[in-house]
Structure 1
Amino acid sequence: MGQVTIYLDDETEKRLRKAAESAGVPVSRWIGRLIQEETRTQWPESVRKLAGIWPDFPEAGELRKEQGTDTPREAL
């Protein structure tokens, strides 16, 4: 397990400690969770469950139909 040292101003540290205490976890775990959340490579399960939940939501093609045709790219 890696270790990281961070430097915070006093006010930021107070807010960090208060947030960790409110969550009922140690500061290191609170920071670890934040880093995991901010660096994840997939949508959270709660977001993935929303896929298709709105039956009247337009399909991608319908949303893009008024955008026109792309201009062909130049060859490199």
Structure 2
Amino acid sequence: MGQVTIYIDDDTEKKMLSMVEKSGKSKSKWISEVIREKTATNWPEAVVQLAGAWKDLPTAEEIRKDMGQDSSRESV
């Protein structure tokens, strides 16, 4: 397991300590989770669950119907 030393300003430290206390986790655990969240390559589950939530949202086809035709793509 790696170790990292960071230097943060007083205001940032106060905010961090407040969040750590509310979470009930250690500073290391809390910081590790923040780093994991910020470096994730997948959408958070809460966002995934929103798929289809807006029934009146127009489809991509409906949005594009009056935009004309795309230019032809170059062949590779």
Following TM superposition, by how much is the alpha carbon of 1:71 offset from its aligned partner in structure 2, in angstroms? Answer: 5.4
Q: CA RMSD in A?
A: 2.2
Normalising by structure 1, what TM-score? 0.73
Answer yes or no: is 1:63 the counterpart of 2:48: no
How many residue pairs are counted as aligned between the two chains? 75
Q: Secondary structure at the match of 1:41?
A: coil
Q: In the alignment, what sits opposite 2:37? A: 37
Residues 1:22 and 1:64: Cα distance change in structure 2 (over 3 Å): same
In the alignment, residue 6 of structure 1 is paired with which amino acid?
A: I
Q: Please state whether the residue corresponding to 1:33 is helix, strand or coil.
A: helix
Segments of structure 1 that go 5 or more residues without pairing to the other structure are: none
- Unaligned regions of 5+ residues in structure 2, if any? none
- Larger proportion of helix: 1
What is the CA deviation profile of residues 44-76 of structure 1, one whole-angstrom value per residue up to 9, with x for unaligned ones?
A: 1111111112222211122233444455689xx
Which moves more between the two structures, 33-42 or 50-59?
50-59
Tell which deviates more after alignment, 53-62 or 31-40: 53-62
Q: TM-score, normalized by length of structure 2?
A: 0.73
| Residue number in structure 2 paired with 1:27 | 27
